[in-house]
A and B are shown apart, each in its own frame.
Chain A
Amino acid sequence: MIRITTGFLLFLCRDFSLKMTKKTKQVPEKKSQAKLFALLKPYRGMIILLVVFTLLGNGTNLVIPKIIAYGIDSYSHGHFILRTIITEFLIATFIIFVFSYLQSIVQTYASELVARDLRKKLSDKISRQSYAFIQKSNPSRLLTNLTSDMDSVKMFVAQAVSTIVSSLFIIIGTCVLLLTIDWKLALPVIMIIPLIGISFYIVLKKARVFFRRSREVIDWLNKVINESILGAAIIRVINSQTQEYRKFIAASSEARDIGISIVTLFATLMPIIQFVANLAILIILALGGHFVIKGSLTLGNFAAFNSYIAILIFPIIVIGFMSNVIARATASYERIDRVMKAPETSEEGSLEESLKGNIEMKNITVSYEGKPALKDVSFSIKAGSQTAIIGPTAAGKTQLLYLITGLIKPQEGTVWFDGINIEEYKKELFRNQIGFVFQDSVLFNLSLRENIAFNDNVTDESLNKALETAELMEFVNSLPDKLDTMISERGTSLSGGQKQRIMLARALALNPKILLLDDFTARVDRETERKILNNVIVNYPDLTLISVTQKIAPIKNYNQLILLMEGEVVATGKHKDLLESCPEYIQIYNSQLSTSHYELQS
């Protein structure tokens, strides 16, 4: 009796929703499929082994009904030898066991190996890419590439290869055996194959739409979950749990409805397939019975027909679904491949010159999706000088610092260091000379020591100097494990100012020629700030300092102030000059004037 189970089918096609983006559609599917199969090339040995084991195991499987038929017939003819039958049966059974287990082991190894190697290749590729590339490709999409896309490729290796081989083998083998036993009975029985194929094709075509939509809904669900985790604090402050729950219910209900649609579709398909398969049994009984009565078919072969039909149905269904596993793997691999093939943003400069600290920006323009963030910006900074960049929110200050580190590239214009184009420097050496204190605190799930001595070149001496300068010594000594204290991912056990100072220490530990501070003082109290900035000047006398800040008081004596507004340089000069010439600057100055006498006092 043939039982086909909805669940198994759903299992096979669960992920078959094709996340086909417009871009993938342009690539001919045949070609991408070829690429997918080409992926297996280096594992040729394993795949061959897999195919061999599969064929041996499944081939032997086909012998069992034969043995039964032989047993029944030999008995009816009166020359039944029990021992031979049992021996044959045992041997066959044992062979099946050995090879099917071997097959599953090879299958597991091969698929995990392919996934591991591909993951490594992809992560290596990503690790060589530029910051701009990562932002553009979106970290969460890259995460999907490295996890669920990999899973579908893995599934392809684990299931599709051996399943298709064995299914085809069984279908062809069974058909041949049936035909050799009695072709007149076999022909109408084999007719069920195309019938099942057609009903499959129709249902799967309909299901495709639902599967695609269910993918979208899952993304939606995940987005709501992720935001509710990342925004946990604000949700509790505002008490908007119910609102979040409603958002979730909306997505969740949609997921349920699509799920029910899919279930309904398959609830129709399953009984139909079952019925068609049962028709075959009916044919065997009615027609086969007729042949047996006529004497053209033996009872044993009649029984064998019944056994083979049970074997035949399953592979047909499986093949139908495997085509979808392949389709999904193809789409996934296409996405992985696109990341692999992405040109590596040129960081190929080779100049190994050490920096003096002269920086010049010429006619720099940076824009995002057509919106300019920086417009025709030019200025120059002398080695060893102190420069402050001030300006309102979203003026492009941070972007300017990103340009100086080469994290992003301008669409127009060039950044020069000591008269040499930034592109020509070998980036590794170049970045070892620039310390960047980011505005947001980025801490890694590492020990405090590793977080600060984040770069390999940091010596204990420079680490200590950095700790002293950032006024962290006392804090470090108050920790039970000192520098070996583990920092949690979001640094939740640390205050905003402590995180900021750790970030500073990390930058200083490089012994940089140029130090970039992005709103460093925002979260550090005045007194500590003053001490720290003093320490920096004393301990790192030759440093070129570029500081993005909101406060005017500490930067009055800087060699140069650059006032940035809406992506344009409004004015450059010393504090005194700007007070005389620049109304915007005066406005900012006045906004801070109310407390400036305190600043002057201290």
Chain B
Amino acid sequence: MNYNLNIPPEDTGKKKSTLSSLKIMFSEMVEEKRTLLTAFIAMVITAAANLMGPIIIGYTIDNYIQTKEYKGVLIFSGILLGMYLISIAAGYVQSKLMGTVGQRMLFTFRNNLFKKLQELPVDFFNQNKAGDLISRINNDADRINQFFSQSLMQFVRLILIMIGAGIFLLSINLPLGAAALSPAIIIWAFTKFTTPWVKHRNAVNLKNVGFLSSEVQESLNNFKVVVAFNRRDYFRKRFDEANQNNYSSAVKAGVANNLFMPVYTLLSNIGEMVVLAFGIYLISTNHFTIGLLISFLAYINSFYNPLRQLAALWASFQIALAAWDRISRILNMENDMPYVEAKESETGASLMSFRDVSFAYPNGKEVLHHINFDLERGKTYAFVGPTGGGKTTTASLISRLYDPTKGTVLLNGRDIRSYSQDERTQKIGFILQEPFLFSGTIRENILYGNEAFQQYKNGELANILREAGLETLLQRFDNGLESKVDITGDGISLGQKQLIAFMRAVLRKPDLLILDEATANIDTVTEQLLEEILQKLPDTTTKVIIAHRLNTIASADEIYFVNTGEVVRAGSLNDAINMLKQGKMAS
């Protein structure tokens, strides 16, 4: 499956996918129905209270100020004050509720995105650059966050005010109202035509922002190579290029984003002018009053000011939509490793069997051809062979990081795809070639993903570790279990990382444990210790060891020679060495 986010999927209505994911998002709002309804009512009250202001003022002018009855002015001022007090209360309720709903929706959105990331298979992470992914999730999600927490509720509210003002305008005087609103039609048309262009420019810019940060990340993380090979200019050159691209796309996006405001202002001013000219004409023909004209002018502002604010929001809306497109690419990804209903299992089957398994990486050549083998309980297997022969790939299939392109992998005689993730991962342990630690303490790292041991105190844990023979390994860290782990730092050597990964896997007591060059950077004395620890695992534990060092495979019960996509059983260690010495077998 194509998991590469920068390669567009075979296009069958990309717009639809954006829309459908937007729909999913809004469907979550439904849960907040009651809160939203209350907020909506509060919003209507606020808007109405505020909109009543100009009409009260206009009425006062016409009926009291112009007739010089100050008492009436005072009475209506009192009414106005009352309206404002209602509006302050309703305003508080509205902002508080809307803001809270917004935050809760964001919360759901963030969590869904993260959940999706967790659901996707390893392949997804291999096909995308870590820097790009991180930028997508941090930056783009942040932009959507901003829009949601700040602008979405505005949209609703501003539109409500506009509708209200529009109704007032039309009902005070229909012809004048219609004339006043006519520039809004031009605004609408203008917005409709320019929006795709603005959105496109923002999308290009976001892509460049992502590119810039992954460029920096790559260069800085590999700075030792940049220095050692005198390629500081490489860093500069790559950065300058990304920087320049970022600059020009940002300017382009900025110019586009800033177009709305002046245009909206222009047209709203014209609306005001129409009201003034037409209004005075109406007054002169006795169809209108001065007081009403003043309130009319106020309503015009109530109509066009929100529109101008919408202009400012519109740009951020376009940015959010562009970001949303990038994120929804992730949300629309489907895990291509489904759960499959189990056929009846073979009786008396081995722990692990490959049946005619072939495998090709996406867009790549086939790397394994028609592999068959069985792994029995309690035995130790060594997988040897030249680099690039397919050892790690085989191990990845055993632990179902990938599914075979052809053939079946059986665990206890049952299709491995019919196991739940939980069940499968408990049975199969895999110490990866490149160990990864999480920031935290050693304790957290060796208990990582190990629910059963989580609640133990350090003292109890020490006993468990002693029983497993892991105690001596722990002594290599200055503060034992509580030593700090910083994933970026140089404080922990590769060998130490491998030790932690080893402890982590052993404590889980899997039925099948794969060690993929898991001790490559550990000295041979310590390695002997690890060997002893492995001996302490239950007799039924099956071990698969991938290694280049002969001493680590000398104790294997069986040796498989893996090369050019074939897995061949070697009769003995000598046999395997001969195969290795011959180098690559004819393929």
Across the interface, name the chain B residue whose C-beta is closest to A226. B134
- Nearest Cβ distance between residue A586 and chain B, in whole angstroms? 11
The segment from A187-195, A376-384, A523-531, A537-545 that touches chain B is A523-531
Most buried by B among A232, A303, A595: A232
Which residue from A14, A432, A519 sits with its C-beta under 8 Å from B230?
Answer: A432
Which of A85, A240, A282 lies in contact with B448, CB distance below 8 A? Answer: A240
Structural contact, B273 and A90, CB atoms closer than 8 A: yes
Across the two chains, which residue of chain A brings its CB closest to B477?
A394
Contact pattern, A 569-599, Cβ under 8 Å of B = 1, otherwise 0: 0000000000000000001100110110011
Contact B121 A101 (CB under 8 A): no
Q: How far is the CA of A89 from the CA of B275 in the complex (A)?
A: 12
Question: Chain B, 137-155, contact with A by CB distance < 8 Å: what is the 0/1 string?
Answer: 1100010001001110110
Q: Would you list which residues of chain A between 431 and 458 have a CB under 8 Å from chain B?
A: 431-432, 434, 436, 438-440, 442, 444-445, 454-456
Report, nearest first, the 10 A-B pairs whose CB atoms are least far apart: A497-B387, A263-B99, A393-B495, A240-B449, A108-B254, A239-B425, A104-B258, A238-B449, A267-B95, A139-B220
> Are A489 and B276 within 8 A (Cβ)?
no
A139 and B526 contacting across the interface, CB-CB below 8 Å = no
| A137-159 interface bits toward B, Cβ cutoff 8 Å, 1 = contact, 0 = none | 01110110011000000000010
User: Which chain A residues border B137 with CB–CB below 8 Å?
Assistant: 225, 229
Q: Which residues of A contact B24 (CB under 8 A)?
A: none
Residue from A123, A218, A282, A290 in contact with B80 in the complex, judged by beta carbons closer than 8 Å = A282
A500 to B132, CA, bound (A): 25
Give Cα distance in the complex from A148 to B573, angstroms: 57
A100 touches B449 (CB 8 A): no
Q: Mark B403-435, 1 if CB is under 8 A from A, else 0.
A: 000000000000000000110111011101111
Across-interface contacts of A238 in B (CB, < 8 A):
425, 448-449, 504, 508
Check: B17 CB closer than 8 A to any chain A CB.
no
Given contacts A108-B254, A393-B476, is CB(A405)–CB(B61) below 8 Å?
Answer: no
B107→A255 contact, CB < 8 A: yes
With both chains docked as a complex, state the minimum distance between the C-beta of A15 and any C-beta of chain B, in angstroms. 9
Whether A131 is near chain B, meaning CB under 8 Å from some CB there, is yes
* Residues of chain B within 8 A of A436, CB atoms compared: 228-229
* Contact stretch, chosen from A2-10, A170-178, A325-333: A2-10
Q: Does residue A285 face the partner (Cβ distance < 8 Å to B)?
A: yes
CB distance from A454 to the nearest CB of B (A): 5
Nearest-CB distance from B53 to chain A (Å)? Answer: 6
- Digitize B305-326: 1 where CB-to-A-CB distance is under 8 Å, 0 elsewhere: 1100100110010000000000
Chain B residue nearest in CB terms to A501: B387
Stretch at the interface among A17-25, A69-77, A355-363: A69-77
A241 to B495, CA, bound (A): 26
Main secondary structure of the interface of A (DSSP, over half): helix
CB within 8 Å for A489 and B102 given contacts A263-B96, A598-B550: no
**A271 in contact (CB, < 8 A):** yes
Query: Does A249 lie at the interface of the complex (its beta carbon under 8 Å from any beta carbon of B)?
Result: yes
Residues of B within 8 A of A488 (CB): 129
Tell me if B88 and A271 are in contact (CB < 8 A).
yes
A-B contacts, 15 of them at CB < 8 A, read A72-B293, A218-B142, A234-B435, A238-B449, A263-B95, A307-B297, A391-B523, A393-B496, A431-B229, A445-B129, A495-B392, A523-B433, A526-B548, A527-B581, A531-B583
Q: In the complex, are the beta carbons of A591 and B524 less than 8 A apart?
A: yes
Q: Which residue of A lies closest to B302 (CB)?
A: A1
Question: 0/1 per residue, A549-581, Cβ < 8 Å to B?
Answer: 011100000000000000000000000000000
Assembly CA distance A324 to B580 (angstroms)? 68
Report yes or no: B73 in contact with A116, Cβ–Cβ below 8 A: no
* Chain A residue nearest to B51 in the complex (CB): A1
B195 within 8 A of A: no
Query: Across the interface, which residues of B come within 8 angstroms of A464, CB to CB?
Result: none
Stretch at the interface among A35-43, A273-281, A414-422: A273-281
Give Cα A303–Cα B61 distance, bound, in whole angstroms.
Answer: 10
Residue A124 CB within 8 A of the other chain:
yes
Q: Cβ of A71: which chain B residues have Cβ within 8 Å of it?
A: 276, 280
Interface: A199 (CB within 8 A): no
Extra A-B contacts (19), CB below 8 Å, given A244-B118, A394-B476, A407-B224 = A6-B153, A75-B284, A76-B290, A97-B262, A130-B227, A131-B224, A135-B490, A229-B134, A232-B125, A235-B449, A239-B449, A249-B111, A271-B88, A271-B89, A275-B85, A368-B490, A392-B523, A506-B229, A523-B517
Instruction: For B68, give the chain A residue with the smallest CB separation.
Output: A293
Interface string of B102-136 (1 = CB under 8 A from A): 11101100110011011101101111011101100
**Would you list which residues of chain B between 266 and 294 have a CB under 8 Å from chain A?**
266, 269-270, 272-273, 276-277, 280-281, 283-284, 290, 293-294
Bound complex: CA A116 to CA B239 (Å): 11
In residues 56-93 of chain B, which contact A (Cβ within 8 Å)?
57, 60-61, 64-66, 68-70, 73-74, 76-77, 80-81, 84-85, 87-89, 91-92
A248 to B262, CA, bound (A): 43
Q: Which of B242-250, B345-353, B462-470, B534-542 forms contacts with chain A?
A: B242-250
- B266 and A93 contact, CB distance less than 8 A: yes
Q: Given A97-B265, A147-B216 in contact, is the A290-B70 Cβ separation under 8 Å? A: yes
CB distance from B490 to the nearest CB of A (A): 6
B12 within 8 Å of A (CB atoms): no
Q: How far is the CA of A146 from the CA of B214 in the complex (A)?
A: 12
Q: B122 to chain A: which residues have CB within 8 Å?
A: 232-233, 236
A64, B280: Cβ atoms closer than 8 Å = no
